[in-house]
Amino acid sequence: MARIKDEDIDLLRDKADLVEVVSSYTPLKKASGSTFKGLCPFHSEKTPSFTVDTGKNLWHCFGCGKGGNIYQFVQEIETLPFAEAVEWVARRFGYELRYEDQRPGEAHMQGLKRRILEANREAAEFFHKTLLDSPDAEPARRYLKSRSFGHEVAERWKLGWAPGRDALWKHLLAKGFKQDELVKADLVRVSDKDGSIYDVFRQRIIFPTWSLQDDVVAFGARAMGDQQPKYLNTSETPVFSKSRFMYGLNRAKSSLGRGNDAVIVEGYTDVIALHEVGIAEAVATNGTALGQSHFELLKRFTNRAVLMFDADAAGAGAAEKGWGLHQKVGLEVLVAPVPIDRDPADLAQEGGADAIGKVLETAKPLREFMIRRTLARLPLDTPEARADAVRAVAQVLVSDPDSISQHEYVFFAAREIGVEPDVVQRELAERAPRGRVATGGSAEPDAQRRLPGHVKVEREALQLLLTRAAEVAIVAADVQESDFTSPVRRELFTRALEAAQGAGRSGAQMADSLTPEALTLLTELSVGEIDLDGEPLAQRAHELFVRLRVFSLERELKGRRGVLQELNPLKEPERHDALFTELVGLEARRRDLLKMLQGENQDV
Ligand SMILES: [Zn+2]
């Protein structure tokens, strides 16, 4: 992947429909003017603070502070590096990108990734063809058929058979792949003993994993004989990390996008079986424990996930991880345990979508599930037994970071045990870490109101410069970078002034090359209408930029006065005089500026 031409990056940014792209992740409603609002896909919220400004081609979330143009949105939501986000947008809008030559290091890494994806695609084809045609694969075909995975299913999911020893290695070598590429793709390994090369997957049924962009990024492989482990997966490669992908998500995402809950199952065959009976929201991890990163991945598409595990696995594995997820990730986790000794694939095979639907109907919030599960193992028939139960439940509840839901579950648990809620509450209070503050549902304080005066002025001046450049460029010309007190505001001012004077790039354009802090500030200040309180823009701008200068002069004066006090006029008379004259000059300028402000205020 060579470097994309800057010109194309600009053209595509202007052409691509930001609202259309954002809408496929979170519904947007038209707000005022050129803005649209919706619930933020990056943090959990109940009132929309995610704003898209079509006039400026920028978005900003006033809740979590993220913002940018269409590329940053795609980067963020699809976890893609910049160039890949541009390519993603280009694919989406059928735009043909042009490339130019790039630096060798970059080219090498991009080249390697591309080669690995090509090798994976070729390997998937090879495995698949082998499954369909090879006599050697007969037991695998029989096994898959026994799970209702016939020819068509195998084709839809590109299931395969890895014959092994070194069949894939030879095949890919003949196709022109290099040993180094295939080792890095984790498709072949080099024997420690004799340096010979062998396939990673041998005598196994193959389940390819796709990225959200429909590239084959990894393989899961099930043993047919007594081989250990039963499931073997591609390890980390330049194109694959177990924490960043989920099996089936590329197919599930459109259903999730329509508002359905994700259904998390344990195995590849469960995912396939559920999709095949029409439950298109099923996903699984790629042979790794469910972790926060998986929930974050799902959160991009849905607000709820149902764990369809057997009760032990759900209780043991997912429970601690599920705690606090609702707050941390904004994803609500429910548990719908499958009966012992049955997996979702069995249920789907025996009873179709109805059987799965029945289990999903039993889904309970994770906390409730944990409480019930804890209590199910305890007798509640004596005061002593109930006391034990209260202690056990408190143990479960104490780690809940959401004090509001915790409070509700105290009542639920008390009712289940048959004691007063106070009893559970007291036990909980004794265990709670000291100094813990209730955090549930607290609204973000309006940080803006508490900003110091000069910061407010700097921000407002920047805002005008960014959004009403043509009208304020002239008054802003007197202002300097050094009039701003933070590096972020300085950075943004310099870029905004260039743009206002016609030499730089618009807000949406400059977004690609700002530091993350400046980007956040850019979108925060640019997105949406600005409220001038009925004041004419020219007057407001003039006042702001004068105030900005005044604040800056005052800082300068303070600095000089400090130096002057340290100076001994007898020892350094010339320096002292010069500094004194300077001070007088600064004072005079400050007075003039203040007069200007007063004059304006009297005119109103
Ligand atoms: Zn947000």
Task: Give distance in angstroms: CA of 326 to centre of ligand 1.
Answer: 15
Which tokens belong to 432? 């709670």
Please provide residue 199's backbone torsions phi and psi, each rounded to the nearest 5 degrees: -70, 145
What share of the chain has pLDDT > 90, as a percent?
Answer: 42
Cβ–Cβ under 8 Å, residues 197 and 189: yes
Query: Which pLDDT band, with edges at 50, 70 and 90, does 437 fall under?
Result: very low
Query: Which pLDDT band, with edges at 50, 70 and 90, does 436 fall under?
Result: very low
- pLDDT tens-place string over residues 86-117: 999 998 898 888 888 766 666 677 788 889 99
- pLDDT tens-place string over residues 234-270: 998 989 988 889 999 999 988 887 788 999 998 999 9
Task: Give distance in angstroms: CA of 321 to centre of ligand 1.
Answer: 23
Q: Which of residues 313 and 128 earns the better pLDDT score?
A: 128
Task: Give distance in angstroms: CA of 66 to centre of ligand 1.
Answer: 6
Q: Above 80 in pLDDT, residue 577?
A: yes
Q: What is the mean pLDDT of residues 515-522?
A: 88
pLDDT of residue 340: 81
- Return mean pLDDT, the chain: 86
Tell if the pTM clears 0.85, that is, is over it: no
pLDDT of residue 19: 95
Cβ–Cβ under 8 Å, residues 28 and 22: yes
Task: Give distance in angstroms: CA of 487 to centre of ligand 1.
Answer: 24
Burial of 443 (0-12, 13-18, 19+ CB in 10 A): exposed
Task: Give distance in angstroms: CA of 263 to centre of ligand 1.
Answer: 25
Task: Give distance in angstroms: CA of 444 to centre of ligand 1.
Answer: 12
Q: Tell me which amino acid residue 600 is.
A: E
Task: Give distance in angstroms: CA of 361 to centre of ligand 1.
Answer: 31
Query: Which pLDDT band, with edges at 50, 70 and 90, does 324 fall under?
Result: low
Task: Give distance in angstroms: CA of 48 to centre of ligand 1.
Answer: 9
Q: Above 90 in pLDDT, residue 479?
A: no
Query: Which pLDDT band, with edges at 50, 70 and 90, does 446 fall under?
Result: very low
Q: Above 70 in pLDDT, residue 288?
A: yes
Task: Give distance in angstroms: CA of 258 to centre of ligand 1.
Answer: 20
Task: Give distance in angstroms: CA of 60 to centre of ligand 1.
Answer: 8
pLDDT of residue 196: 93
Q: Above 90 in pLDDT, residue 122?
A: yes
Burial of 301 (0-12, 13-18, 19+ CB in 10 A): buried
pLDDT of residue 449: 54
Task: Give distance in angstroms: CA of 65 to centre of ligand 1.
Answer: 6
Task: In whole angstroms, give the CA distance from residue 314 to residue 348.
Answer: 19
Task: Give distance in angstroms: CA of 270 to centre of ligand 1.
Answer: 34
Cβ–Cβ under 8 Å, residues 327 and 353: no
Q: Which of residues 179 and 311 earns the better pLDDT score?
A: 179
Task: Give distance in angstroms: CA of 353 to centre of ligand 1.
Answer: 36
Q: Above 90 in pLDDT, residue 119?
A: yes
- pLDDT tens-place string over residues 136-174: 999 999 999 999 999 999 999 999 999 989 999 999 999
Task: Give distance in angstroms: CA of 299 to centre of ligand 1.
Answer: 12
What is 134-196 written as a DSSP string? Answer: -GGGHHHHHHHHHTT--HHHHHHTT-EEE--TTHHHHHHHHTT--HHHHHHTTSEEE-TTT--
Query: Which pLDDT band, with edges at 50, 70 and 90, does 434 fall under?
Result: very low
Q: Residue 374 contacts by C-beta under 8 Å, 6 or more apart in sequence?
A: 389, 392, 393, 395, 396
What share of the chain has pLDDT > 70, as a percent?
Answer: 91
Q: Above 90 in pLDDT, residue 205?
A: yes
Task: Give distance in angstroms: CA of 515 to centre of ligand 1.
Answer: 19
Q: What is the mean pLDDT of residues 446-466?
A: 79
pLDDT of residue 274: 96
Q: Above 50 in pLDDT, residue 444?
A: no
Task: Give distance in angstroms: CA of 486 to centre of ligand 1.
Answer: 24
pLDDT of residue 290: 82
Task: Give distance in angstroms: CA of 44 to centre of ligand 1.
Answer: 7
Query: Which pLDDT band, with edges at 50, 70 and 90, does 503 fall under?
Result: low
Task: Give distance in angstroms: CA of 526 to centre of ligand 1.
Answer: 16
pLDDT of residue 432: 65
Q: What is the mean pLDDT of residues 296-301?
A: 85
